[in-house]
Structure 1
Amino acid sequence: MSTQETVRREAGTVEENPVRLDQDKAEQIAEALNTGLADAYVLYHQLYKHHWNVEGAEHLPIHEFLQEAYEDVEAAADEVAERAQALGGVPHASMPALSDAATVEPEDEDVYDIRTSFENDLEIYGDVIDHYLEDDTLVLESALK
């Protein structure tokens, strides 16, 4: 690693944005996007965990289904991070920052049967969707003021 470090944009800040949003609104939106990003990565890791641990006669189709699911979540998270960056924000990228910003709780480290795993996945999907809807409402209200 280089001994000289140049920080281009400090984490937790929002620069002037090309879409000319008011600074306060841009900061609110960037924060909401970072929360959504963190929640998406909690879901991503839980789906990946289930992908690793699935067993039984239906292993392969469930394994492949979960892989598609976590890849879809990862692609969505990438879009969220790019939007935060485009608004002049700094997308969370470290595990501590993502963990601190997340509003959803993953299941614990134990391995469960696939039915329980799927129930836990549905629960966290619902929580992520609820938080996205809440953040969208905040963003829309902020933009209209």
Structure 2
Amino acid sequence: MSTQKTVRQPADSIVENSLRLDTDRSEQIVDALNTELANTYVLYHQLKKHHWVVEGAEFLPIHEFTEEAYEHAEEGADLIAERAQALGGVPVSGPAEQADRATVSFEGEDVYDVRTMLENDLEMYGHIIESMRDSIELAENLGDFATGEILREILVTVEEDTHHVEHYLEDDTLVLEEATH
């Protein structure tokens, strides 16, 4: 195993890319992509936590949904990271750096009731949707329509998952509450 450590590209740097997007524009777009990447991983970890700790009468459907949702987040993160790299950037990859870069906050290590967990997810999804729309607009204003398209495709999935969370939070349920005596 080699002990030599050669940095090929420092984090937070932009190199020329073959996509013919100049480094000034690439830098702005990669910065936005790294924010989206960090936000996506915060969401991923929160959904993963909820998948592990969910309990109650609706355990199974929520357990299955959170698994699908964190898989969607991971797939989106991969696309975002690969695009940042293609633009000459370095995807933010360490947990500490992702937490610092994210504009959304993890709910913490405590376990909450199912409704609170889903409300926290819904809130985070909403912030991510707004941020992603801003990043799409930025990329397209800078002439990077491919990044806009990639983010738009991810946004469709994010919005679908958000809508599913919203359905889980509706008042209608087949589960009866115990009557208090």
Range into which the TM-score falls when normalised by the shorter chain: over 0.9
| 1:64 positional shift | 1.2
Q: Greater RCO between the two (CA within 8 Å, min separation 6)?
A: 1
1:42-67 alpha-carbon deviations (Å, 9 max, x no partner): 11011111111101232222111110
Task: Tell me the equivalent position of 2:106.
Answer: 106
Q: How is 1:8-27 mapped onto 2 (pairs within 5 angstroms)?
A: 8-27=8-27
Q: Are 1:86 and 2:86 counterparts?
A: yes
| 1:11 positional shift | 0.7
The RMSD of aligned alpha carbons is 1.4
Using structure 2 for the length normalisation, give the TM-score: 0.76
Q: Are 1:115 and 2:134 counterparts?
A: no
Task: Tell me the equivalent position of 1:139.
Answer: 139
Task: Tell me the equivalent position of 1:34.
Answer: 34
* Structure 2 gaps, min length 5: 145-181
> What is the percent sequence identity of the aligned residues?
58
Task: Tell me the equivalent position of 2:47.
Answer: 47
| 1:2 positional shift | 3.4
Match for 1:32: what amino acid?
A: A
1:93-113 alpha-carbon deviations (Å, 9 max, x no partner): 111211111011221222111
* Cα separation, 2, equivalents of 1:142 and 1:48: 35
Match for 2:58: what amino acid?
A: E
Q: Say which SS state the counterpart of residue 143 (structure 2) adopts.
A: helix
Following TM superposition, the consecutive aligned residue runs of length 4 or more in structure 1 with deviations greater than 4 angstroms are none
